Amino acid sequence: MAEGQELLLRKDLERVVNRLHQERTHVAPYQEDYRRLLDNHGKMIRAAMVILFARAGSRNKGRLDNTVITGAAAIEMLHLATLVHDDVLDDAPIRRNKPTVHTIRGNKAAIYLGDLILSRYMEIMASIAPDTAFIREQAGTVCEIVGGELYQESDRHHTHITIDDYDRAISGKTAALFRLACLTGIRLDGQPTDTGLERTARDFGSNLGMAFQIIDDINDFDLDRDTGKPKLEDIRDGIYTLPVLLGFQKDENFRTLVQQDDPDQVVDYFRSHPQLMESSRQTARDYLQQAADSLEGSPVDKGVRDLLQRITAKLAAQV
């Protein structure tokens, strides 16, 4: 069952890649940069969520409507727009194993290119929206993402922030987009609102998104794992993620050490206190388990449910 869905998903994602490749800008001097950004897609997990939740109801058994593929491409574009801005803010030299656009074209052009991708995301979503509630949901989620970033900014270099503060920031900046991806799938499949399917999409997406950001934050300290982007960015920028916050809770001396702004010392501390990373990993696995649990007894199609469970299990095994 799940194998069949996996094959369908692979084919649908190829269509999303093609759809992204068809994207054009009329701004001639930046056409190549725009092209390069859209062609250098990541694993497209958010697009996969749009597709799988479009297949979660009873309607979509065969070839997916172009609208869903377009919606999945647009969700990836929203994600990409946030990354382009994020890389300028972080002054990150690489992303997805390629030089970032601001290192080639400068910060101003990169910000405008991020804005252009964001505007196209809005234009595309407006052109396929089944109703105004759909647009409100998209726009409201963009507000949540920016809000999450602002919470993170207001907490920067604060060594007394709590895990609740961290959760608030990551649920806005990351989990909200995962939730939106799942909801976009069921909306584009024309499923009625306020159903068991909608509740599952919200729960699954939010929990997967929380796990995803915690794993990303753990990997930022894992110097041996190739993530296609720089390491130790968060601690260098004064962004205190879960392993650091757990360290603050356990040891007052660690707080003093972090205040010295020497990332190598923090890495050494984690090496000598492996339980901090292990406990962070366990939190990520718990979120993944909650995502999987949200599918139990839900109206999600059996083949799709099996595949979603496989995806969460695979992620949990890699943490």
Residues engaged in binding ligand FPP (CB under 6 A): 81-82, 85-86, 89-90, 114, 118, 142, 145-146, 149, 173-174, 216, 229, 233
**What backbone phi and psi angles, to 5 degrees, belong to 240?**
-100, 110
Which CB sits closer to Mg ion, 153 or 296? 153
126/129 Cα distance (integer angstroms): 5
Q: Which of 250, 164, 245 is nearest to 210 (CA)?
A: 164
Which of 90, 189, 203, 217 forms a contact with Mg ion (CB under 5 A)?
A: 90
What does the block give as tokens for 265?
Answer: 């010392």
Question: In this structure, are residues 64 and 58 in contact, taking their beta carbons and an 8 Å threshold?
Answer: no
Residue 181 binding result from ligand FPP, Mg ion, none, given CB thresholds of 5 to 8 Å by partner type: none
**174 binds, options ligand FPP, Mg ion, none, Cβ within 5 to 8 A by partner type:** ligand FPP
Query: Which helix or strand (DSSP H or E) is residue 99 part of?
Result: strand 98-99
Residue nearest to ligand FPP (CB): 82
Burial class for 178, CB neighbours closer than 10 Å (0-12, 13-18, 19+): buried
Tell me which stretch binds Mg ion (CB under 5 A): 84-92, 118-126, 218-226, 275-283: 84-92
Measured distance CA(233)–CA(217) in Å, rounded: 10
Residue 112, token pair as written in the block: 């405008």
DSSP β-bridge partners for residue 95:
98
The reply on whether position 149 binds Mg ion by CB under 5 A is no
Residue of 86, 216, 222, 237 that binds Mg ion (CB under 5 A)? 86
Minimum CB distance to Mg ion smaller for 4 or for 99? 99
37 binds, among Mg ion, ligand FPP, none (CB under 5 to 8 A by kind): none
The owner of tokens 């997990």 is 45
Minimum CB separation from ligand FPP for residue 116, in Å? 10
Least separation, in Å, of the C-beta of 193 and ligand FPP?
25
Specify the amino acid at residue 7.
L
Shortest distance, position 71 Cβ to Mg ion, whole Å? 25
Rounded to a whole number of angstroms, the minimum distance from the CB of residue 296 to ligand FPP is 29
Q: Considering only CA atoms, which of 319, 316, 301, 312 is closest in space to residue 51?
A: 301
178: left (phi over 0), alpha (psi -120 to 50) or beta: alpha
Minimum CB separation from ligand FPP for residue 195, in Å? 29
- State the minimum distance, in angstroms, from the CB of residue 311 to ligand FPP: 19
Q: Given the rule CB under 5 A, which of 6-14, 82-90, 244-252, 309-317 is the region that contacts Mg ion? A: 82-90
Identify the three-state secondary structure at position 230: coil
For the CB of residue 92, give the shortest distance to Mg ion in the complex, in Å.
Answer: 6
On whether the CB atoms of residues 181 and 13 are closer than 8 A, the answer is no
Considering beta carbons, is residue 23 or 149 the nearer one to ligand FPP? 149
Q: Does 12 bind Mg ion (CB under 5 A)?
A: no
Query: Which chain residues interact with Mg ion by CB under 5 A?
Result: 86, 90
